[in-house]
Amino acid sequence: MYVATAALCACGGCHCSLMTVGEPFIALLADNSISYSSHFVDRRTIAPSDVVLVTGGIRNAEELEIASEIGRTSRKVIAVGSCAVYGGIPGAGDIPPVEVEDGSGLPALLPRLEPLDTAVPVELYVPGCPPPPNLIFEALKSVVEGYSSIRFDSTVCSDCPRRVQRGPVRRWTLHPGTGVHGADCLLSGGMMCLGPVTRGGCRASCPARGAVCAGCRGPSDAVLSSQLHSMYADMVKYVGLTCGTREDKVAREMAALLRWMYLFTRRDPVTRARIREKVVDG
Partner 1 sequence: MAEIISIDPLTRIEGHLRIDVEVEGGRVVDAWSSGTMFRGIEMLLQDKHPWDAQQVTERICGVCPLVHGTASSYALDDATGVKLPDNARLIRNLTLGANFIQSHVLHFYHLAALDYVDPLAVADYTGSSLPLITLRDKFRRLAAEKDPYFFLPRYESPDYIGQPGGPGDPDLACELVSHYVQALEMRKKAQEALTIFYGRMPSFVGTVPGGVTTKPTISNTTAFKARMQELQQWVNDVYWQDILTVAQVPEYQELLRAGDSGGNYLAYGAFDLDAAGKDKFFPTGLIIGGDVLNTRKPGRDEIAKQITESVQHSWYTPECEGLNPREGKTEPELGKKDAYSFLKAPRLGGRPMEVGPLARQLVMQEPGFMSLVDRLGLLTEPLEFGILPRHAARAYEAVLLAAKLPEWTDELQAGIGGDIWDPKGAEIPDESYGKGMVDGPRGALGHWIHIQGKTIGNYQCVVPTTWNASPRDKSGNRGPIESSLVGLPVPDVDNPINVARCVRSFDPCIACAVHVIHPEHNGVKEFRII
Residues 197-216, interacting with partner 1 (CB under 8 A): 202, 205-206, 208-212, 214, 216
Of 41-49, 69-77, 146-154, 246-254: span binding partner 1 (CB under 8 A): 41-49
Residue 95 or 228: the one with the smaller Cβ distance to partner 1 is 95
Residue 183 or 273: the one with the smaller Cβ distance to partner 1 is 183
CB 139, min distance to partner 1, A: 18
Site for partner 1 in 217-256 (CB under 8 A): none
* R_g over Cα of the chain: 20
Residue 196 or 207: the one with the smaller Cβ distance to partner 1 is 207
Site for partner 1 in 108-167 (CB under 8 A): 109, 129-130, 132
CB 148, min distance to partner 1, A: 26
- Could you give the CA distance from residue 211 to residue 102 in angstroms, rounded to a whole number? 47
Among 100, 144, 233, 251, binds partner 1 (CB under 8 A): 100
Cβ atoms < 10 Å from Cβ of 137: 21
- For residue 183, state whether it binds partner 1 (rule: CB under 8 A): no
- For residue 22, state whether it binds partner 1 (rule: CB under 8 A): yes
CB 76, min distance to partner 1, A: 18
Among 6, 51, 59, 188, binds partner 1 (CB under 8 A): 59
Looking at residue 167, its amino acid is G
